[in-house]
Amino acid sequence: MIKFIGKAVVLTLTLGFSLSMGACSMLGTFNDTTANTVCERLNEKYNEDFEAEYIGNRIDTNSATLYVHPKDTPKLMFTAIIDNDGNVTDDYVSNIMTYKVQNDIVESFNKYNIDCAVDVEIVTDIKPEINTNLSIEEFVKKHNVSGMYVKAIYCDDNISREQLVTIFENISKSYSFKLVINGYFFDIENYRQCSQKFDTYPSYGDTLIKRYNPYKTFTLCVSKGESTPSLHEFEYITEVK
């Protein structure tokens, strides 16, 4: 789930059967030639095999946006844009970094038997990057990343304020950048449906998350082990707008 603010709006298409074509296999009824070209370009660039799951923006007739993931990591979804000349741009490396942060957060909560789903976005513009072997800290230093935006969803109403804030504070000690977190609590069924969307799209916005009727939310900023608001001031918001 990682990801850039302002990505293209999804135009969901009906999924069909799976096709395999050289460097690319794909699901769906979208243009197989376009998908194959994009995956081949990505394979040449990163020496990995990719799968295209959806085609997004076709309103702009000069380009098409595809949602793609590495063949061996289906949840690492990112965007690739192909123009009419066959040029492909993508945000794969940025999404590798946010995927790592996402996993760090999920694993930190799982240690306390707390299930959550997380979507992370980089909140600053990033120059093109092709080095997939960068560490998170190497990446943020190279690209002057000051923060990442986190959307976290939960279905466990037994999480105390102290536990929630402390876990995020401890996570932030590993990073030189701040984490800005919007959190949402759901009943089990709405949590299940919303978390599936996190796995489907490169990014899933707050407005879309609220469609699943969270019954309480929170906002938190953590940096180097400290939180704003502080634990003493932190409160859940029960009037969700």
Same domain for 121 and 86? no
Pairing label, strands 147-154, 178-185: parallel
Residue 240 lies in a domain: no
The identity of residue 130, as a single letter, is: I
Number of domains in the chain: 2
Residue 236 lies in a domain: no
- Angular region, 144: left φ>0, alpha ψ -120 to 50, beta rest: left
Specify the higher pLDDT residue, 54 or 96.
96
Specify the higher pLDDT residue, 23 or 203.
203
- 129: CATH: 3.10.310
- 61: CATH: 3.10.450
Same domain for 216 and 107? yes
C-alpha span between 173 and 169 (Å, rounded)? 7
Residue 63 lies in a domain: yes
Mean per-residue pLDDT, 31-59: 86
Q: Which of 90, 119, 151 is the last residue of a domain?
A: 90
Pair of tokens at residue 45:
């660039």
* Residue 109, pLDDT score: 96
Residue from 156, 195, 179 nearest 228 by CA: 179
pTM of the prediction?
A: 0.83
C-alpha span between 149 and 174 (Å, rounded)? 16
pLDDT in tens, 145-181: 999 999 999 997 888 999 999 999 999 999 999 999 9
**Segments forming the whole domain that contains residue 161:** 94-228
Q: Confidence class of residue 26 from pLDDT cuts 50, 70 and 90?
A: very low
Q: Which of 55, 90, 125 is the last residue of a domain?
A: 90
